[in-house]
Amino acid sequence: MKRRSFISKGTLGTFSAILGTEIVFGSTIPLGYKPLALQDPDPFKLFQKDSDMTVLNTKPWNIEAKAHLLDDKITPNKFMFIRNNGLIPENIDANNWSLTIDGESVQKSKTYSLSELKSKFQQYTYQLTLECGGNGRSEFNPPAKGNQWTIGAVSCANWTGVRLRDVLEDVGIKSDAVYIGYHAADIHLSRNPEKEPISRGVPIAKAQQDETLLAFKMNGEDIPLAHGYPLRLVSGGWPASTSGKWVNRISIRNKEHDGAKMTGTSYRVPCEPVAPGEKVADEDMCIIESMPVKSLITYPKSGAMIKEGQSLNIRGHAWAGELNVSKMEYSIDFGSTWNSCTIEEPVNRLAWQHFSAKISGFPKKGYYEVWARATDSQGVGQPMLLPGWNPKGYLNNACHRIAIKVI
């Protein structure tokens, strides 16, 4: 015992945060030992997720919801998808957490502690839609590599933090600034400290929007560990990969950010349509920015049964990246005819909108499908079937549909 080494307070704190409780006698755990509860982790307990969530990958953790689980107007933690590119940071100490602003286009690099960010700048809360660029990838053919997301890599929680633009104004940026890029504390799967799992960014105009936050709360509480505790960049309406978790540095760039997963086919689609399976040169790929118009029926659950002559109430959410959804429709005859839904205004810009309808037109017993179609404020509607193929299977915004049986 004399020569026994012990784990650090930081690691012990991370173990306790993951388990959600104090590890009694934790100070006596030997160096390198991982508690049994973490050796074969139950992801639902580990991340406080509903057991109906679907685990797509464990290294890194990637978990999605099913459509009916996303029925809440504000997505609770237990139904929020997890999309990680690397390993979750192991030694988080929020009391000593800092954010550094640097880069070619910063007047002078500056570092803020987390408490400084919270006290120096006004705090804002927005409900913001975050969707993985690969949501719906499982439908593409030829298949695209990567996590085979179905429809559940989307959420709309309340995020609280300070505006990135206020921090940038405090630091001072040069007139040639065109982009920002984030850096974070997550760990590359190889555990090579020289490699970043992901380091993406957005144009300076997006970084300076009111709703682009350096967030430290999600739904009124500290951001859960898997969602970026203690500090996360949140860029609503754009691929969720631009909302970097565990952020500790932001670089102000005088060029398009060139961090990990900003080049090649990562989060890029062909600038022009291509045939399925066609190889596309890097220079012909364009970065995904605002997400396309999309909708999701969250009630009832696919497979519901109603009696002949009975009406059916449906509801769900629709979103359109930087735009609003101006029209919402449903069809029960495989898209031959469409009927209007009621669509609510968003609670704030970049939040999803709620729709509902009462369907009373089922002519007789049998199998039906309810299809949902949203149209954005520029008149662009969802495609009824799979949109254009791309090498990584991004931006599948085809109409969502559920099966109904009238008995």
DSSP states of 103-161: STTBSS-EEEEHHHHHHHS-EEEEEEEEE-TTTTGGG-SSPPSS----S--EEEEEEEE
Tally: H helices and E strands in the chain: 6, 24
- HSE value, Cβ hemisphere, 13 Å, CA-based, for 297: 28
Q: What pLDDT shows up at residue 37?
A: 66
In 3D space, the residue among 383, 378, 379, 361 whose CA is nearest the CA of residue 370 turns out to be 361
Please, are residues 102 and 257 in contact by the beta-carbon 8 Å criterion? no
In 3D space, the residue among 124, 251, 257 whose CA is nearest the CA of residue 184 turns out to be 251
- Cα dihedral sign, 117-122-123-129: negative
- HSE value, Cβ hemisphere, 13 Å, CA-based, for 333: 8
SS3 275: coil
Q: What pLDDT shows up at residue 26?
A: 80
CA dihedral 358, 360, 364, 366 (to 10 degrees): 0
Q: Which strand (E) or helix (H) includes residue 314?
A: strand 312-319
Q: Which amino acid makes up residue 213?
A: L
Q: Angle at the Cα of 103 (from 97 to 107), degrees rounded to 5?
A: 100
Distance CA 135, CA 117 (A): 33
Which tokens sit at 230?
């203690």
Q: What pLDDT shows up at residue 379?
A: 98
Beta bridge partners of 373: 329
Distance CA 402, CA 407 (A): 16
Q: What pLDDT shows up at residue 25?
A: 82
DSSP H stretches of helix in 201-257: 204-207
- HSE value, Cβ hemisphere, 13 Å, CA-based, for 225: 22
In 3D space, the residue among 182, 127, 17 whose CA is nearest the CA of residue 348 turns out to be 127
Distance CA 324, CA 41 (A): 40
Which tokens sit at 24?
């009694």
Q: What pLDDT shows up at residue 59?
A: 85
Q: What pLDDT shows up at residue 284?
A: 95
| b/e map 304-326, b = 16+ CB within 10 Å | eebeeeeebebbbbbbbbbbbbb
Please, are residues 246 and 215 in contact by the beta-carbon 8 Å criterion? no
Q: What are phi and psi of 153, to 5 degrees?
A: -95, 55
Which tokens sit at 296?
């999701």
Q: What pLDDT shows up at residue 40?
A: 64
Find the distance separating the first CA and the last CA of the chain, reported in whole Å: 71
pTM: 0.90
Q: Look at the block and give the residue holding tokens 């709620």.
A: 354
Question: What does the pLDDT profile of the chain (407 residues) look like in tens digits?
Answer: 334 445 666 677 777 766 666 788 887 877 777 777 666 678 898 899 999 999 999 889 999 999 999 999 999 999 999 999 999 998 899 999 999 999 999 999 999 999 999 999 999 999 999 999 999 999 999 999 999 999 999 999 999 999 999 999 999 999 999 999 999 999 999 989 999 999 999 999 999 999 999 999 999 999 999 999 999 999 999 999 999 999 999 999 999 999 999 999 999 999 999 999 999 999 999 999 999 999 999 999 999 999 999 999 999 999 999 999 999 999 999 999 999 999 999 999 999 999 999 999 899 999 999 999 999 999 999 999 899 999 999 999 999 999 999 99
Burial class of residue 59 in the structure, from the number of CB atoms within 10 Å of its CB (0-12 exposed, 13-18 middle, 19+ buried): exposed
Q: Look at the block and give the residue holding tokens 């104090």.
A: 22
Which tokens sit at 267?
């989060």
What's the maximum distance between 2 C-alpha atoms anywhere in the chain? 81
